[in-house]
Structure 1
Amino acid sequence: MTPRDDSESAGPRRSRWSDLDRPPLNAAALRRALVREGSLWREVDVVQRTGSTNSDLVARAGGGGAEGLEEGVVLVAEEQTAARGRLDRKWVAPARSGLFFSVLLRPGDAVPVERWGWLPLLTGVAVAAGLARAGGVDTALKWPNDVLVTVGGEERKAGGILAEAAGTAGASGGGGVVVGVGINVSLRADELPVPTAGSLALAGAVSTDRDPLLRAMLRGLEDWYGRWRAAGGDAGACGLQEAYAAGCATLGRVVRAELPGDRALVGEAVAVDGDGRLVLATEAGVQEPVGAGDIVHLRA
């Protein structure tokens, strides 16, 4: 879709597409770097604007004659107008101020479906490593899907990960998972959607060039996905469980887990188990695994 340039009807008024500090992604260069013989990535598409890359890729991959869409498709948007986080939360950011992309993965018969829940955590490990390598910024992971940075000594959310089913696992199309990633890269303080948000720029990143940041994250994702798939989804055997725990800011904290059914559980986060669940040690002296819910960090 070609966006309307606001400057066409508003004279010299600055368009959201004319920020020289936010150059467009180089789609051709990204394809040359990522789509190669033996690579996981088969297709890299960059669109100027869409509602949600996750919704678009789920629609392409989840049926209606699209069963043949192979894994390894990457869809990137310069701007999203209806982006979603967990629990249908809105994700709003100016054009070209971040990295908003989704990938299609099909673990197939190599990984039991009950282990597919590791995919958003695996993506978090790859994203954190890629941002550290290409952006020179320290990040941490909040279970299960937030990417945190430190701004002015405070923990801020700079990104999120959302995994959605695409098709039915075990069906003729192979089923699959679309994993979406949103990272605030160059957002300035006056552009933050909420005071608790952050960006790589505000966290002191040495580089906010989105092309190498995206390449680093996707290469890391390819590497970890290959290891995890080769191990049959065993997060312990491939080192994923240990890597996630090492970068998880939730472990060692007292947290409140807001669970389905308006239930809440408070305890110390002591581990991430083999199924990717967060294990809480409660005041009652029991350890309870949490597989889904909203986690609030209370104190260290």
Structure 2
Amino acid sequence: MTGNEKKGYFFVFLTGVFFAFEVIGFKEVFRRYSLSPEMAALFGVGFAFLVVSPYFLTSTHRRKKVMLTFKRDGKILLIGTLSNAMGIILYYYALKQTDLGPAAILIKTTVLYNVLLGVVFLGENLKYRETFGIIISMFGIYFISTLEGQIHWLAAICILVSAFLFAIQSYLIKKFIPEIFGLEYAYLRLLLLCVFFFFYSLSIGSFLVPKFSVVFILGVCSLLGYFLGRAFYFEAHNYLPISKLNATLLIEPIFLMFVGIFFMNEPIDIQKLGGGTLILLGLYLIVFHKRKSKQNETTESNIE
């Protein structure tokens, strides 16, 4: 393992930790308070944006990097963030109605979508093991989506659609941005998310101001997930191929499932455990076969 790979895996590890805290925090808010997904997202990212702004605005060097990111990567940032914003609303809508474990597992179908995007738009071929992995994952998705009392079929569809919208961002970054400034990209993403959620809430008439205690919880969770987690994830794109990024993040839903069972009184269900195992096994076969194929291609290239 090279030094760059170690650095990339470290960034992805931090990403998974911060993502998990974000999801747990928002789930708790949805459990305790009657708050719409767009309002939770707006005040969460708005709080995080205000907290981190002085860090970027008080330094000439960091201001220049922000402006460079905006000028160089602005189009990809805008398209990816809009896709992300729609995915966030759908995911939070589903998270309000479903248990933490099933939601955390289904959202990882982002890995599956990344593979399919590569096949459709990058001309990549599906190998036998990858096809087998997709089939296994589809069975797992069916088992998780039909968990009675833990997830509704509409919520499952929303999560699967949001996973696709999340996958678009990573695909765009890997295809069009050779080297990304993780912190600056995450900061501008916060700003765009604030604008999107604000105007979206106004357009549907759901805008309201929650209690400060709720805003504070959402803000801290967003600071961890939307800013730090995303910043580390974007930075990891510079050191690892997308398959390795997703492989490491497959650990996160297992952690969240156990959090739901032991701390949120979610039921231990054989169907849930079996479906989750099938999804993660299928994604594992897809991801690590991709990595092995790329390693073989690199070895053959070096020999030649």
Which TM-score bucket, shorter chain as reference? Answer: under 0.3
Highest RCO, 1 vs 2 (Cα 8 Å, sep ≥ 6): 2
Higher strand share: 1
Alignment TM-score, normalising by the size of structure 1:
0.28
Structure in which a larger fraction of residues adopt helix = 2
TM-score, normalization by structure 2: 0.27
